[in-house]
Amino acid sequence: MRAVQVTEYNHPPVVQNVPQPTPAAGEVLVKIEACGLNFGDLLMVKGTYQERPALPFTLGMEVAGTIAAHGEGVSSPPIGARIAIFGGSGGLAEFGTFTAALCVPLPDNMDFPDAAAFQVAYSTSHVALDYRAQLKPGDTLLVLGAAGGVGLTAVELGKLMGATVIAAARGSDKLAICKQAGADHLIDTDTDDLREVVKSLGGADVVYDPVGGDLFTAALRACKPEARVLTIGFASGTVPQIAANHLLVKNINVIGFYWGGYLRFKPEVLTDSLKQLSIWYAEGKLHPHISHTLPLAQAAEGLELLRSRKSTGKVVITL
């Protein structure tokens, strides 16, 4: 079968022919139909992600497809079931083996590309906003990197959860997409003073930050007392250093959040989130934004779209 593999860190991944895997006990074999790309895939190519599979390994964190075979002790989901799964790696291939217990059934009205674009981005934002930051109706939510894969879902979910949403992104085209997702106020980070604009709107109760760098510092200074600042990632390449006195003066909480970490110590947080998100999708309340759909042979081009920030929402590879 074909698979997109990292054979050496800091080198472009390559499409290779590799043996089709066999599911071990507790696993299922999935015929993969679509795989969503994530910023974490770029870090895995460099060897700097939180998880480091042994080389060579197949890229692709989240997939959608059908159950093709069961490993020992597995009877569910049944053969032929349409599922999505976050496997951490192994998704950019024609087949993959994954832990059966982590499979999520797809709503009848969800196609495979939407399913591959859904799990990480929506559940990252949902668990961060609901479980970690306890976003409430009437709160003001500031979303940095708001046109990106997770940022756009934070805009959409924040509005659905009753918040006033301020979306910060680069350029009018990206801000227009944020507006369509429900943003109440827009900040162009190329030209606007983020701190001053947010303060003029009354300040932020919750900050959702997948960017880091200078934007984190500006957002922190625009927070209301008792604000909650979610550190989602550092797409800017700069991990901000926090002046603790700023936290003290306004009683601000800075909250670390790594979605994949819950798989190891509290997976029910993620499965409960995905159940709620699936209900909202089935009810027509969520609309995944996929800016690019590419075939497996162009997976490297898809990753470059993420790296150069030329995509909005999600990039999906179809098999």
Here the CATH number for the domain that contains residue 86 is 3.90.180.10
| pLDDT attached to residue 246 | 87
103: which 2 tokens? 């499979």
Q: Are residues 132 and 112 in the same domain?
A: no
pLDDT (tens digit per residue) in 269-313: 988 998 899 899 999 999 999 999 999 999 999 999 999 989 988
Domain count, the chain: 2
pLDDT band at residue 261 under the 50/70/90 scheme: confident
Q: Considering 218, 243, 260, which residue would you say is the last residue of a domain?
A: 260
CATH number for 194: 3.40.50.720
Structural domain including 217 reads 120-260
Residue length of the chain: 319
| pLDDT attached to residue 139 | 98
- Count other C-beta atoms under 10 Å from residue 237's C-beta: 8
pLDDT (tens digit per residue) in 51-105: 888 899 999 999 999 999 999 999 999 999 999 998 889 999 999 999 998 898 9
- What mean pLDDT do residues 3-19 have? 94
Give percent above pLDDT 70 in the chain: 100
- Count other C-beta atoms under 10 Å from residue 142's C-beta: 33
Q: Are residues 43 and 138 in the same domain?
A: no
Q: Are residues 96 and 128 in the same domain?
A: no
pLDDT (tens digit per residue) in 136-190: 999 999 999 999 989 999 999 999 999 999 999 999 999 999 999 999 999 999 9
Q: Are residues 81 and 147 in the same domain?
A: no
Mean pLDDT, the chain, integer? 94
Instruction: Kindly state whether residue 278 falls inside one of the protein's structural domains.
Output: no
| pLDDT attached to residue 271 | 84
Q: Are residues 13 and 113 in the same domain?
A: yes
Q: Are residues 86 and 101 in the same domain?
A: yes
| pLDDT attached to residue 292 | 95
Q: Are residues 178 and 254 in the same domain?
A: yes
- The b-or-e profile of 145-182 (16+ CB within 10 A means b, else e) is bbbbbbbbbbbbbbbebebbbbbbbbeeebbebbeebb
Q: Are residues 108 and 162 in the same domain?
A: no
Instruction: Kindly state whether residue 296 falls inside one of the protein's structural domains.
Output: yes
| pLDDT attached to residue 260 | 83
Q: Are residues 107 and 174 in the same domain?
A: no
Q: Are residues 114 and 135 in the same domain?
A: no
The model's pTM: 0.85
Q: Considering 223, 244, 260, which residue would you say is the last residue of a domain?
A: 260
Measure CA of the first residue to CA of the last residue in the chain; give whole Å: 11
- What mean pLDDT do residues 119-123 have? 91
- Kindly tell me if the per-residue pLDDT of 263 is higher than 90: no
Instruction: Kindly state whether residue 271 falls inside one of the protein's structural domains.
Output: no
- Kindly tell me if the per-residue pLDDT of 13 is higher than 90: yes
- Kindly tell me if the per-residue pLDDT of 237 is higher than 90: no
- Kindly tell me if the per-residue pLDDT of 130 is higher than 90: yes
pLDDT band at residue 222 under the 50/70/90 scheme: very high
- Kindly tell me if the per-residue pLDDT of 30 is higher than 90: yes
Instruction: Kindly state whether residue 279 falls inside one of the protein's structural domains.
Output: no
Q: Following DSSP, what letter does each residue of the chain receive, concatenated?
A: -EEEEE-STTS--EEEE-PPP---TTEEEEEEEEEE--HHHHHHHHT-SS--PPSSEE--SEEEEEEEEE-TT---SPTT-EEEEE-SS--SBSEEEEEGGG-EEPPTT--HHHHHTTHHHHHHHHIIIIIIS---TT-EEEESSTTSTTHHHHHHHHHHTT-EEEEEESSHHHHHHHHHTT-SEEEETTTS-HHHHHHHTT-EEEEEESS-HHHHHHHHHTEEEEEEEEE---TTS-PPPP-HHHHHHHTPEEEE--GGGHHHH-HHHHHHHHHHHHHHHHTT-----EEEEEEGGGHHHHHHHHHTT---BEEEEE-
Q: Are residues 103 and 161 in the same domain?
A: no
Instruction: Kindly state whether residue 57 falls inside one of the protein's structural domains.
Output: yes
Q: Considering 224, 245, 260, which residue would you say is the last residue of a domain?
A: 260
Instruction: Report d(CA 50, CA 60) in Å as an integer.
Output: 15
Instruction: Supply φ then ψ for residue 127, to 5 degrees.
Output: -65, -40
Cβ atoms of 107 and 278 within 8 Å: the answer is yes
